Structure 1
Amino acid sequence: MLSILPKHIAARVKKDIRNVFQHIKLYQNEPLKKKPFSELYVEQHDMVSILYADVVNYSQLTVSLPPNKLVETLNELFGRFDEVSEERNVLRIKFLGGCYYCVSGVPNP
């Protein structure tokens, strides 16, 4: 979970999951008071920037480059993104295919 959620949000999600299972275990025939997983784990932050960096012609690269060369190229590119992100206190959210997702301005609790 920590690859997609901040630690403090992941802890809340885990706690809620445990509570649902505990309720089911203890009160098998009694319905839950609220719908499971209905809580939104949302926080508001001012002055936040989000970047989606998409590799141009990524689909074409996937068919024109051998797999090991494609992985090597993306690893080098995204590695450089990670270095610059760390220098500038930017948090990488994830990368998926040829897209790099990052955010700045979000406090680290």
Structure 2
Amino acid sequence: MEALIASAIAVLVACGFYLVLRARTFPVIVGLALFSYAANLYIFSTGRLTSGMPPVLQKGVPLEAYADPLPQALILTAIVIGFAMTAFILVLAISGYVELGTDHLDGKEQTR
């Protein structure tokens, strides 16, 4: 299970890095979102990957039978903040496109 999660994180980081290096704003925004998803997945994987284990402690049950609730709470918060920031950056990119007439990061069209 850990190898699958590590592979998914590596793919997300590689795709995000590729998209961040593009010259247009929308791929850069998607690349930053992929970086955010990779970071969320990494934090989630630090909380003991268990299947069907509750994050709430009960009397008489050993601690190995529980999932760590802190990474789960951090990921929930990070998802909400990441979604809000992505929406805000998209609005900024759209307003920049309307004002400048191009979606290139430097504001100029590339000549071939």
Scaled by the length of structure 2, the TM-score of the pair is 0.28
Higher relative contact order, structure no. (Cα contacts within 8 Å, ≥ 6 residues apart): 1
More strand by share: 1
